[in-house]
Structure 1
Amino acid sequence: MLKVSSQDPSRAPLLLSAECQRSGTVMRVSLDYHCCPATAPSTQLTCVQVLLPLEPSATDVQCQPPASWNTEERRLLWKLPNLSPTNHSKGSGTVCASWQCAEAPWGPPPSLAVQFVGCGASLSGMELELVGSRYRMSLLKKRFATGKYMAGCTL
């Protein structure tokens, strides 16, 4: 997990809010995303991907918007269009999925992974702390790229 701290939390390039809901044997996960204009008003986030691993017993999977299914890795993949903070219709949105479980899920809620690339901006003034081994971030001049950001769900 990446923890970002700053005097102004809106300086993060992409704000994320994940939520999980359980109802009997049905699980629903949603992720709201918002491209933040405070980072750099003209910056586009490209190669934006959201990954959601599913447990083996998941059936009747419904996605909005439609996602690709990787059978071997048992995960959903959303490839989002380039996100721009100046275009409200393409700077924010929601992805969600729901599925049926063989029995009521009792384990921890699933984690979403988010990847993106930003060009033409820097993240100065922010302190980044990598927590765990599932995250990678590279920073090259005025280009930043994330590895997997695990957005934890709240129940």
Structure 2
Amino acid sequence: AGSSGSRGPSPLTIGMADTIPLAVAFHEIIHSYFRGTEESKCQVKMSGDMMLSFPTGIVGVLANNPNPAKLCFRLKNIHRLDNVLPNKQLISINTMMSTRDTTVVDFNMPALTALLRRQSEKNPTAQYFNVDILKYQIRPKAGAASCPFQLVAYWKCEQDHTDLKVDYKYNLHAMSPPSPLLNVSVCVPMNGEVKNVIAMPKNIWNGENEQALWRFTELSQHSDDRGVGSLRARFELDKGPSSKGTISAQFNCEGATLSGIEFELVGSGYRLSLVKRRFVSGKYICDSEVH
């Protein structure tokens, strides 16, 4: 159930007999710390949250129906999740129906009705109501295998210049399904009063912040060399040598998750109209070996 070409739930009036359209969104974040060339030293932390979006028309259906259809869903591919924290006011985990790789979640219908009614009173013109369902942590794979964008930095600091090489690699195995990383940037701090920068590919030097910035619109297995490459630069200095700084990266990805988690409705009365998946980089940094 990809998000391409799907219609969002129609917020218009929903009749008692209609199936109610729902949208689900998974939003995940990855923090990574790369140190030197040894992949085993890479530290990774990932987490996510899941939200359901209800159309306004559902409020009347739930409020006027003494016995509304029970809302229940199944999460599949959850073997890499840790610390699943459900919104306990609204949902409970159905342990009888859950397995190692699937979790079945039941809604407390009176609590859901009350929450949606409160939201509609607070915001009567809204077309949709977003409800936080659960938060979770994702267990990282070994080394840098969980990182969609892998980095290694090599610094050579001389009196009058610093040579820098940053090897990068797009890792399609870190996400599901493989999708391009968007708005990729790599930022390098450089002290020592830089007077000139020679870079391949070209970068942007910001003298005020003493930072060099490389940018890619997107990076994927369809990029040059399947998303593997190097950023190289020589920084000519007036007051060298410079110190080895901490490099930081940023990116986002639409239509994929790090966890590979899947969502399906159980039972009747509701239908899934849209699944949104995305992940972003959090604190994503790279140091050279400390000698």
Tell me the distance in 1 between the aligned counterparts of 2:258 and 2:237: 41
Tell me the distance in 1 between the aligned counterparts of 2:157 and 2:143: 33
Matched-pair contact (CA < 8 Å) for 2:197–2:205: no
User: Which residue pairs with 1:11 in the alignment?
Assistant: 146
Q: RMSD of the alignment, in Å?
A: 2.5
User: Which residue pairs with 2:249 in the alignment?
Assistant: 114
Q: How far is the alpha carbon of 1:63 from its aligned partner? A: 1.0
Give the TM-score taking structure 2 as reference length: 0.43
Larger relative contact order (CA 8 Å, sep ≥ 6): 1
| Structure number with larger C-alpha Rg | 2
User: Which residue pairs with 1:151 in the alignment?
Assistant: 286
- Larger proportion of helix: 2
Matched-pair contact (CA < 8 Å) for 1:52–1:110: yes
Aligned residues: 139
Tell me the distance in 1 between the aligned counterparts of 2:216 and 2:259: 26
Q: How far is the alpha carbon of 1:92 from its aligned partner? A: 1.8
Q: Which one of the candidate residues 73, 83, 98 is aligned to 2:209?
A: 73
1:142 pairs with 2:277: yes
Spell out the pairing of 1:119-130 with structure 2 (5 A cutoff). Answer: 119-124=254-259
Tell me the distance in 2 between the aligned counterparts of 1:63 and 1:119: 30
Tell me the distance in 1 between the aligned counterparts of 2:142 and 2:283: 24
Matched-pair contact (CA < 8 Å) for 1:15–1:33: yes
Worse-matched range after superposition: 85-94 or 144-153:
85-94
2:225 counterpart SS class: helix
User: Which residue pairs with 2:158 in the alignment?
Assistant: 23
Tell me the distance in 2 between the aligned counterparts of 1:70 and 1:106: 16
Q: How far is the alpha carbon of 1:103 from its aligned partner? A: 4.6
User: Which residue pairs with 2:168 in the alignment?
Assistant: 33
User: Which residue pairs with 1:58 in the alignment?
Assistant: 194
Worse-matched range after superposition: 141-150 or 76-85:
141-150
Q: Note the residue ranges of structure 2 that are not aligned, 5 or more in a row.
A: 1-30, 33-42, 45-139, 261-275
Tell me the distance in 1 between the aligned counterparts of 2:211 and 2:242: 19
Q: How far is the alpha carbon of 1:79 from its aligned partner? A: 1.0
Q: Which runs of 4+ in 1 moved over 6 A?
A: none
Give the TM-score taking structure 1 as reference length: 0.75
Tell me the distance in 1 between the aligned counterparts of 2:283 and 2:187: 9
- In the TM superposition, what whole-angstrom CA distance separates every residue of 1:119-152 from its partner, at most 9, and x where no partner exists? 2222228xxxxxxxxxxxxxxx621111442211
Matched-pair contact (CA < 8 Å) for 2:157–2:242: no
Aligned-residue sequence identity (percent) comes to 27
2:202 counterpart SS class: coil
Tell me the distance in 2 between the aligned counterparts of 1:7 and 1:76: 31
